[in-house]
Amino acid sequence: MIHQHIIKSTIKAIDTLYGVVVEEKTVSVQKTRKEFTGDFTLVVFPFLKYSKKQPDTTAKEIGTFLSVEIPLIERFNIINGFLNLELKDAYWIQFLMTEGQNQSFGTPIIKNPITYVVEYSSPNTNKPLHLGHIRNNLLGQSVSEILAFSGHKVFRVNLVNDRGIHICKSMLAWQKWSHENQESDKGMKGDHLAGKYYVMFENEYRKQIEDLKNKGKSEDQAKEEAPLINEARELLRLWEDKDIATRSLWQKMNDMVFKGFDVTYEKLGISFDKTYYESETYLEGKKIVENGLKSGIFYQKPDNSVWIDLTTDGLDEKLLLRADGTSVYITQDLGTAFQRYDDYKADKYLYVVGNEQNYHFDILKQILLKLKSPVAGNLFHLSYGMVELPDGKMKSREGKVVDADDLIEEMFFTAKKQTESLGKIEGFSENEANALFHKLSMGALKYFILKVDPKKNMVFNPEESIDFNGNTGPFIQYAYVRIMSIVRKTENTEISKSYDFSKLNMNHNEKSLLKLIYSFPEIIQDAAETLSPALLANYLYDLAKEFNQYYHECPIIKEAQVEKAALRLHISVFCAGILKKGMALLGIEMPDKM
């Protein structure tokens, strides 16, 4: 790529002009900002200490050297010590003809590919997937795709939280009240059914807490002494003791929840290489805790609960086993970490988990360090912000959540309404129309969530997400459809043939679009390094927006000069390939027509 050629030639220029060999990392070559003339900009300031001259003088000397060293440089200009290099049209035409046919264009050349294990989804089996889970799944899947596309080995894993006090709450509510709800439960999706009983438990639990508070108990005392929570704790103890009746109910409820999850995953296009279950990994975690207790890393309190003191590490004391011997959430996280190392011996372990768990992962990492686990130094928490609706936060305990299945259905009908109102399905069969609505609705949902930096909180607005004129998935999809329409209209015409473009001049719009396409590999590399699909998503929006400008300024079918029309068609097809490839890394399908 030409910017690497510029970097190497700049190193040669500094050596030749000033007698100093500089490191490659000191040479900064950037895309020239739109308000200035040029293709690439060299930052000259790091070299002033070698030239002992003013910025503009230094830039002129380097620019003159580069113009001789790189014949593809047409001219250069200098603005406040920044050297703007403008390339000849021949370079961009050569780039188009070489990389436009290259199916692997955009794949970064990684010297040392590594193995990643990426954990995402991590649902509880006491409720259906909701909007927060959607962001988690889409982030995990897209990060995995980007890393794999970049040349790394990636294993996608899920950890299902299928045991614990929260699961026992749903089970207890089922035992108490399912016989009263047989009619209303009929036909309900399994994960929704479990969620229904979890909310029932929480509602009754709150009533008991209020009753105890009215009798003089404090809030904390009431929460501890409420009969329901003690029944749930006893159910957890029976589960860990492998009581047959308890395990049978647990398996029955889990099976129906898993079936429900699978339906939602399929709608979202989410998949995993392996699924771990907390009901299996917690046992390994308990062994690790017992061994840590023997070696003095952990300690036991008089009530037999097991803890670790991390106060000297700037953290807190952390419970690892309750007094009754039952495990807590971090117990299974320890077991899972050790088991994954045995399974994969990976270089990096990514946990895609919301930012409310930041402290939890600080503790997990410290415990793994004290246990001398090889995972400790390679654990990375991909912490993401919360998703809210325009009217506020979600509360799963109160049943006030945006259910994933409901949202997917709402997005479908919103896409249908918008598309029909714009007249974009003329001549479509019912199946073709529904396939289009699905692609547009999923494109809208996924893009709207992934375009936001993972670290930031966000507000999801279904209506805004499906706007064909904004920074949305459908806007990008429609740009792609436009190109496919041009391809169909020019098929088997003179325009679709290959020509020698080397003698053609390029206008600003043609060159501007090619320059943006050129930056695709760099965007992929940055997205992989920062684990941020948002970089790719917003690049694709910029590319689609640039194409729309190009589409209006550079006619293809109506262009009188056939070679020029063919050149523009080649550029459009190249752009379409990048849009499709990039959106696929976000998990978004592109329709061919609308």
Q: Over 227-254, what HEC string results?
A: HHHHHHHHHHHHHHCCCHHHHHHHHHHH
Report pTM: 0.91
In the chain, % helix, strand, coil (3-state, to 5) comes to: 60, 10, 30
| Residues pairing with 381 in the sheet | 351
Alpha helices in 227-321 (DSSP H): 227-240, 244-268, 278-294
Dist. CA 368–CA 377, nearest whole Å: 9
CATH class of 2-87: alpha beta
With vertex at residue 415, the alpha carbon angle to CA 549 and CA 539, rounded to the nearest 5 degrees, is 35
Nearest one of 329, 297, 324 to 313, comparing CA atoms: 297
pLDDT score at 399 = 44
* Domain ranges in the chain with CATH number 1.10.730.10: 404-585
Name residues whose C-beta falls within 8 Å of residue 582's C-beta, 6 or more positions apart in sequence.
Answer: 106, 520, 536, 539, 540, 543
Dist. CA 380–CA 112, nearest whole Å: 19
pLDDT score at 401 = 67
Dist. CA 419–CA 415, nearest whole Å: 6
Q: At what angle do helices 533-553 and 520-530 cross, to 10 degrees?
A: 160
Nearest one of 167, 125, 120 to 274, comparing CA atoms: 120
The neighbour count for residue 492, using CB atoms within 10 Å, is: 7
Torsion from C-alpha of 357, 358, 359, 365, nearest 10 degrees: 110
Query: In Å, what is the CA distance from 191 to each residue of 194, 256, 442, 579?
Result: 5, 7, 21, 36
Residues 90 and 50: beta-carbon distance below 8 Å: no
Dist. CA 88–CA 71, nearest whole Å: 9
pLDDT score at 263 = 96
Dist. CA 6–CA 38, nearest whole Å: 14
Name residues whose C-beta falls within 8 Å of residue 223's C-beta, 6 or more positions apart in sequence.
Answer: 209, 229
The CATH code of the domain at 120-398 is: 3.40.50.620
Residues 580 and 480: beta-carbon distance below 8 Å: yes
pLDDT score at 152 = 95
Dist. CA 336–CA 50, nearest whole Å: 54
Residues 393 and 457: beta-carbon distance below 8 Å: no
583: tokens are 């959106």
Nearest one of 260, 548, 582 to 406, comparing CA atoms: 260
Name residues whose C-beta falls within 8 Å of residue 127's C-beta, 6 or more positions apart in sequence.
Answer: 170, 191, 194, 195, 198, 396, 401
pLDDT digits (tens, 9 = 90+) for 231-290: 999 999 999 899 999 999 999 999 999 999 999 999 999 999 999 999 999 999 999 999
CA 60 to chain CA mean position, Å? 43
Low-confidence ranges of the chain (pLDDT < 70): 391-401
Return phi, psi of residue 85, to 5°.
-105, 130
**What CATH superfamily is the domain 404-585?**
Isoleucyl-tRNA Synthetase; Domain 1 (1.10.730.10)
- One-letter amino acid of 444: A
Nearest one of 179, 229, 184, 180 to 204, comparing CA atoms: 229
Mapping DSSP to helix (H, G, I), strand (E, B) and coil, where does residue 589 land? coil
* Domain ranges in the chain with CATH number 3.30.1360.70: 2-87
pLDDT score at 391 = 67
pLDDT score at 400 = 55
Return phi, psi of residue 398, to 5°.
-100, 5
| Residues pairing with 321 in the sheet | 306, 327
